A and B are shown apart, each in its own frame.
Chain A
Amino acid sequence: MADKSDLVLDVRNLKTVFFTNSGLFKAVDDLSFTVKRGETLAIVGESGCGKSVTALSLMRLVPDPPGRIVGGSVSLEGTDLLALDETEMRAVRGNRISMIFQEPMTSLNPVMRIGDQIVEAVRLHRDVSAKEAQNIAVEMLRLVRIPEPARRTREYPHQLSGGMRQRAMIAMALACRPALLIADEPTTALDVTIQAQILALILDLQKELGTGLVLITHDLGVVAQTAQRVIVMYAGRKVEEASVEALFASPKHPYTRGLMASIPAVPAPGIAAPARLNEIPGTVPSLVRLPRGCAFAPRCKLAIKRCEAEYPPLEDCGGGHLAACWRAEEVAEVA
């Protein structure tokens, strides 16, 4: 396996909470993971599982109040981001670590030309002249395969299509060649043919630049086609982690297993369409009133007394395949 110097990101016991009128809730609870140079780690889960708050925590962009990172460490290339003050953090953000969001229209400045937005990011972090920064902007747009990049730098976000805007966002995020890129549902707002283009682009650029990538998504198809490793989150916690092959071949957590059986498949040679989708009964629990034991227990077919009483620790089921389930070993036989 890779040695330590290969690690771009090392997150340990991250804990982010929100203080609300209805009480305190743990959006991210005791989350640890690593990302290597050039590696793609997918974080998958449903709404409210804490995947987006994880991304914001890494960027130190959790709105405070009501949110706060209350524990753990986020070490990027050996520097603990949580120990930096805001000025130091600003030098890192957009430079060594950057992020692309789901909705490019709300994250681009609508009254600023695309080129100027990239120039701003570049000049904030790199000591280059306005002219050079302008050249970098054109170069970045060419890199993300926007046709006529020189002309496009003079356009405003509303003049671009959704796919083009997302390309411009990617150009901006990668302009300073960050060590780590976080993509939070980067293609959810896009049509499927455009999604395929954008995902292919992100993976190409990542390979070219050696960037570590944290891809946050709810779409298991996107996970299967892009990631090397996967973390499954449920109610703020990591419930499973494995290589993408191991996860899809034999999911160990009943939640992961249920999720996989509940997605319809496009019929294709070799893939039989199920007559009926598997349902996971009930709904995602409210983070304010989490059960004492396993948060998935109330919806789990395999739940036993112990699941309701004690939260299962993450255990290695072999080959770095982690699962937090008291019955992980039996899942394959029982379900």
Chain B
Amino acid sequence: MTGALLEVTDLKKYYPVRAGVLRRQVGTVHSVDGVSFSLQAGETLGLVGESGCGKSTVARSVLRLVEPTSGQIRLDGEDITHLSKSALRPHRRSMQIVFQDPFASLNPRMTAGDIVGEPLAVHGLASGKELEARVAQLFEQVGLRPDQMRNFPHQFSGGQRQRICIARALALGPRLIVCDEPVSALDVSIQAQVINLLVDLQRQHGFSYLFIAHDLAVVAHISHRVAVMYLGRIVEIAGKDELFRNPRHPYTQALLASVPIANPLAKKLAPLVDGDVPSPVNPPPGCAFHTRCRFAMERCQIERPALLDAGDGHQVACLLNEGTGRSNATA
């Protein structure tokens, strides 16, 4: 082990809110508010949270598709936070992304083969016959037939389009693939095909995934470690089994209790939280979750809990029990 493949430290991304004729800034969206995590080679880190929690902004910041307000992103030990466009280009080869909507992320005027081959051509890695052979190989890897290279995106089903997106991401031999809700737009029976494909490819190539999804079951299936975000901050991060068996943050517990289990004999839906997620424009002071938390204390409204080690590779940002959160055992 030579250290983490990806290391994100205190990442922040704020967006100004402008209003009025002069477009004066009237507020700030705290989209990502101090997020730190690391990702090892060959590992999958799941990032879960509800809409507006900043998980997609984290994904895009890591790839420098949005410029972070502050913080540091290190890829293979090298700080890429402030690299210029041209200096960043060689690094682009090692990090790729697969988006949620395979209908919006493929150019409808290009053939599937050209789409998958484009990264190779742009980086000058292959051309002519060699390019074609390489693309055909990529098609086979993701379960498409090479003779489908001449087809256009509209001739493919949703699941097949997502396979094209994955082939494109694979083309440059990346070491990190960011998956932003890659199966959310797919039907249940197709979801399983794509998830299995992602798992198989990781086993073959040993790259890392930063896997963003709102579906806890999907994240649980594919991840080695899972981070839970709420209003721009990571509230809990732990190994998969540890997190799901022994969630320590009241928000994680509420999230898990809200997932409908596909078993009519299992416990019925128990909403553990009321109300909505507060606006990220004026996030509550202290712990952002205190407005919905059943265990909130006075301290929680003032003091912002830091992400602290709670043992067993488990980190929690909660003031309960001296910063170790609330174990199920104490429930």
Contact = CB atoms under 8 A, between A and B. Distances in A.
A and B held together in a complex: yes
Interface of A: 46-47, 161-164, 191-197, 199-200, 218-226, 244-245, 248, 258-260, 262-269, 271, 273-274, 276-281, 283-284
Interface string B248-275: 0000001111111111111011111110
Contacts of A277: 192, 195-196, 221
B240 A267 contact: yes
B182 to A, nearest CB: 13
Nearest to B266: A224
By Cβ-Cβ distance, the 8 closest A-B pairs, closest first, are A221-B260, A264-B221, A262-B192, A191-B50, A196-B258, A277-B192, A280-B189, A196-B271
B260 A279 contact: no
A263 B260 contact: no
Nearest to B244: A267
B261 A221 contact: yes
Contacts of A280: 189, 192-193
Interface in B258-296: 258-266, 268-274, 276-277
Interface stretch (B2-10, B211-219, B319-327): B211-219
A258 B270 CA distance: 28
B220 A244 contact: no
B277 A191 contact: yes
B66 interface: no
A244 B171 CA distance: 45
Interface residues of B, number: 48
Contacts of B276: 161-164, 194
A221 B214 contact: no
Contact of A263 (B51, B192, B222): B192
17 contacts: A161-B276, A192-B50, A192-B259, A221-B262, A224-B266, A225-B260, A225-B261, A225-B268, A245-B264, A248-B262, A264-B218, A266-B256, A268-B245, A273-B220, A279-B192, A281-B193, A284-B189
Residue of A46, A193, A195 contacting most chain B CB atoms (<10 Å): A193
B261 A266 contact: yes
B51 A222 contact: no
B192 A199 contact: no
Nearest to B52: A191
A262 B189 CA distance: 6
B190 interface: yes
